[in-house]
Amino acid sequence: MGMTQHAEPAVSSPPASGPGKVKDGRTAERPLALRVLARPEVGVFLGAVAVWVFFLIAAPPVRDGSSMANILYQSSTIGIMALPVALLMIGGEFDLSAGVAVITSALTASMFAFQLTLNVWAGVVVALLVSLAIGFLNGWLVVRTGLPSFLITLGTFLILQGVNLAVTKLVTGNVATDDISTMDGFDQAKKVFASSFEVGGVQVKITIVYWLVFAAIATWVLLRTRYGNWTFAVGGNKDSARAVGVPVTFTKISLFMLVGFAAWFVGMHNLFSFNTVQSGEGVGQELIYISAAVIGGCLLTGGAGSAIGPVFGAFMFGMVQQGIVYANWNPDWFKAFLGVMLLGAVLINLWVSRTATRR
Amino acid sequence: MDRSSLSRSRRFAPAVALAAAAALTLAGCSSSSGGKKSEESADGASAGKATTPRMTIALVTHQSPGDTFWDIVRKGAQAAAAKDNVDLVYSADPSAANQATLVQNAIDKKVDGIAITLAKPDALKDVVAKAKKAGIPVVGLNSGVSDWQKLGLMEFFGQDESVAGEALGKRLNEAGAKNAVCVIQEQGNIGLTQRCDGVKKTFTGKLQTLNVNGTDMPSVKSTITAKLTQDKSIDYVVTLGAPFALTAVQSASDAGSKAKIATFDLNKDLTGAISKGTIEFAVDQQPYLQGYLAIDSLWLYKNNGNYMGGGEQPVLTGPAFVDKSNVDAVAAFAAKGTR
């Protein structure tokens, strides 16, 4: 009964990469503007612009460059994870363990290096292997059992949550890791994962650059490579994809491993910008990543979406979350504001794509 | 069929016994010597071991997983249990209904004493009455300073969250603060809200509250940065947990703000930050002491009939301030994760 197993319903929208439908005379060629609007990321782009303009008016501090850098920083740590989560969703699966996997990676790197008194890069490499292995395990279990990824990754989510806590406590005697900021290689790793640079007097965090670079690569892969086609195909209809020679197993497992890679990356950012990691963190983040992807135009049923949409989805999260603070609204309403703004953005998104696809 | 399986099981019996013995030996080795475990049991004060009969005590808290604070409570309880020849059964659940079930489990196990936190006293009322009916002594710790007597607990160890907040507010007045922000890392948590409300009561300046997403540090960092940018006149950031204080230091520097940082609760990184001067002070409610006294008091009651606080007054463990003047005395204990 998994969402990936039944055939693609006939009414579902076509994949974003394949707009070139053969004209059969029943439909007239639609105007360019409407065709642009029909792309999945355009709705969320307009939503993001609307939210941005709204806060530019409502919250004067947002107009400042450093505030924008701060908002983008928050968006980038969500966005780097939202990208592979979106690709995975296009491939017809999703990953509930993505939030705690970030912390697992950070804990692994920190404890491995600290306990064995190694250069921190050793921990970084081990953490990468662990993260990829978790992704592989998720993917392999999903493919082998045919169970919905919801169940499999719910399982790994709980396992990782428990393991994060228990192993950290076992190894360090506390529930947080030791401070590694004085160890060899730390400054170097901090430069790579958690530095910032100046642009016109504004401190910009490096994660923003990585976020945009990763998004560009993901877009290229999705639209211009065979792997991108495979991703759409396995998410659309696994069985017919397999019938035409798409390596379904490879595609699905590698998509899960991609989530593992991003979890490692964000985990390293957390570790090297805050020096220690608390083992209870990360819970609930998976839903934020998934929301950013969905707001960004990825269908929960797979087979449709883009890599650029989640960029705006993540931006919207960062913008709304910080915008509320910049606007100095009553903090008790914080989550409610967040929900209303996001729901509003999704509705704009929906309205735009409906309007655009109407003849 | 029967015979063959019987004979097979006979043949295998010595092997099974051997394996079991090996496993037990291994288990014995790993628990008694070496490794992190011995380090843990050596934590804090070790005052020999009582020769009183072995007893079982259940400690049931509303801890949420992975919280450094509760880890210290548990270590205190473990230290007392080791000293008092007590078998400590620790369990925790943030939901009050589940916590009540855990208390019921302890009653069913016929433990010799129960120590509980009263984060939501009403939900635990019935189960506490059941424990009393079963003749099991119950003490309270950490939260519930205003309710423990109503529920008929024997003793209570902890601090009043609002009293701690009030103490911090007074301290802010002494420091000359004018505009402070109280950072809540878990929206809707009553203990955290009481702390901020306590600060508000005594602080003569302006106090704002700020909700942050405590499970995502980058988000905590940028939200505090945003607040400090939005209101440039903020001169003190008050966090309600040690890790958030350390993050607030980064936020202040990101925002180019001169705001000073104060916090509730301690951990080992925080003591370092206090001695360096990046964090001004911390209010410590001595969680280790709460756990330790709760277990020790039940032991004393069983073996000598004593009541701490005379059964009338709570035994207060906080608020104790840790600042530059006394941080060195505390740092060594915090490094072990017991203070």
Q: Which of the residue ranges A262-266, A341-345, B20-24 has the most confident prediction, judged by mean pLDDT?
A: A262-266
What's residue B2's pLDDT?
44
Q: Could you report the per-residue pLDDT of A205-250, keeping only the tens digit for each?
A: 999 999 999 999 999 999 999 999 999 999 988 888 999 999 999 9
Q: What does the H/E/C string look like for A172-232?
A: HCCCECCCCCCCCCHHHHHHHHHCEEEECCEEEEHHHHHHHHHHHHHHHHHHHCHHHHHHH
Partners of A175 on chain B (C-beta within 8 Å) are 66-68, 71
Judge whether B231 is closer than 8 Å to chain A, CB to CB: yes
Q: What does the H/E/C string look like for chain A?
A: CCCCCCCCCCCCCCCCCCCCCCCCCCCCCCCHHHHHHCCHHHHHHHHHHHHHHHHHHHCHHHHCHHHHHHHHHHHHHHHHHHHHHHHHHHCCCCCCCHHHHHHHHHHHHHHHHHHCCCCHHHHHHHHHHHHHHHHHHHHHHHHHHCCCHHHHHHHHHHHHHHHHHHHHHHHHCCCECCCCCCCCCHHHHHHHHHCEEEECCEEEEHHHHHHHHHHHHHHHHHHHCHHHHHHHHHHHCHHHHHHCCCCHHHHHHHHHHHHHHHHHHHHHHHHHHHCCCECCCCCCHHHHHHHHHHHCCCCCCCCCCCCHHHHHHHHHHHHHHHHHHHCCCCHHHHHHHHHHHHHHHHHHHHHHHHHHHCC
What's residue A27's pLDDT?
57
Find the closest chain B residue to A164 by CA distance.
Answer: B66
Do residues B138 and B153 lie in contact, with contact meaning Cβ atoms separated by under 8 Å? yes
**Contact at CB, A173 and B187, closer than 8 angstroms:** no
Judge whether B81 is closer than 8 Å to chain A, CB to CB: no
Facing residue for B67 by CB, picked from A280, A321, A332? A280
**Contact at CB, A283 and B40, closer than 8 angstroms:** no
**Contact at CB, A328 and B210, closer than 8 angstroms:** no
User: Distances in Å between the alpha carbon of A283 and those of A131, A280, B65?
Assistant: 17, 7, 10
What's residue B26's pLDDT?
43
| CA–CA min distance B228, chain A (Å) | 9
Best of A317, A325, A337 to disrupt the B interface (most B CBs within 10 Å) is A325
**Contact at CB, B269 and A179, closer than 8 angstroms:** yes
pTM of the model: 0.81
What's residue B65's pLDDT?
75
Residue B43 has pLDDT above 70, yes or no: no
**Contact at CB, B219 and A279, closer than 8 angstroms:** no
**Contact at CB, A164 and B66, closer than 8 angstroms:** yes
User: Distances in Å between the alpha carbon of B135 and those of A350, B89, B124?
Assistant: 63, 18, 17
Burial class (CB in 10 A: 0-12, 13-18, 19+), B178: middle
Find the closest chain B residue to A194 by CA distance.
Answer: B218
Judge whether B94 is closer than 8 Å to chain A, CB to CB: no
User: Distances in Å between the alpha carbon of A7 and those of A2, A13, A95, A287, B315?
Assistant: 11, 14, 21, 26, 66
Partners of A322 on chain B (C-beta within 8 Å) are 222-223, 226
ipTM for the whole complex: 0.81
In the structure, what pLDDT confidence band is assigned to residue B224 with cuts at 50, 70 and 90? very high
| CA–CA min distance A293, chain B (Å) | 18
Find the closest chain B residue to A271 by CA distance.
Answer: B217
Judge whether B14 is closer than 8 Å to chain A, CB to CB: no
Judge whether B101 is closer than 8 Å to chain A, CB to CB: no
Q: Could you report the per-residue pLDDT of A324-346, keeping only the tens digit for each?
A: 999 998 878 878 887 887 788 77
| CA–CA min distance B136, chain A (Å) | 31
**Contact at CB, B226 and A278, closer than 8 angstroms:** no
Facing residue for B211 by CB, picked from A288, A327, A331? A331
CA dihedral angle for residue A267, residue A271, residue A274, residue A276, rounded to 10 degrees: 120
| CA–CA min distance A90, chain B (Å) | 26
| CA–CA min distance A155, chain B (Å) | 17
Residue A273 has pLDDT above 90, yes or no: yes
* CA terminus-to-terminus distance, chain B: 63
What's residue A152's pLDDT?
96
Find the closest chain B residue to A59 by CA distance.
Answer: B230
**Contact at CB, A77 and B250, closer than 8 angstroms:** no
Judge whether B211 is closer than 8 Å to chain A, CB to CB: yes
Partners of A77 on chain B (C-beta within 8 Å) are 216, 218-219
**Contact at CB, B218 and A66, closer than 8 angstroms:** no
Give the integer Cα–Cα distance in Å for A271 and A48.
Answer: 30
Do residues A185 and A119 lie in contact, with contact meaning Cβ atoms separated by under 8 Å? yes
Give the integer Cα–Cα distance in Å for A292 and A315.
Answer: 8
More confident residue, A145 or A348: A145
What's residue A105's pLDDT?
97
**Contact at CB, B222 and A61, closer than 8 angstroms:** no
| CA–CA min distance A174, chain B (Å) | 6
Judge whether B339 is closer than 8 Å to chain A, CB to CB: no
Q: Could you report the per-residue pLDDT of B142-186, keeping only the tens digit for each?
A: 888 888 989 999 999 998 888 899 999 999 999 999 999 999 998
**Contact at CB, A64 and B229, closer than 8 angstroms:** yes
Residue B48 has pLDDT above 80, yes or no: no
What's residue B230's pLDDT?
93
**Contact at CB, A278 and B243, closer than 8 angstroms:** yes
In the structure, what pLDDT confidence band is assigned to residue B31 with cuts at 50, 70 and 90? very low
Facing residue for A326 by CB, picked from B214, B226, B267? B226
In the structure, what pLDDT confidence band is assigned to residue A24 with cuts at 50, 70 and 90? low
| CA–CA min distance B64, chain A (Å) | 8
Facing residue for B230 by CB, picked from A279, A280, A325? A325
More confident residue, A121 or B42: A121
Find the closest chain A residue to B267 by CA distance.
Answer: A176
Best of A322, A335, A337, A338 to disrupt the B interface (most B CBs within 10 Å) is A322
**Contact at CB, B216 and A285, closer than 8 angstroms:** yes
Concatenated DSSP letters for B225-292?
HHHHHH-TT--EEEESSHHHHHHHHHHHHHTT---EEEEES--HHHHHHHHHTSS-EEEE--HHHHHH
More confident residue, A231 or B64: A231
| CA–CA min distance B319, chain A (Å) | 23
Of chain A, the percentage scoring pLDDT greater than 70 comes to: 90
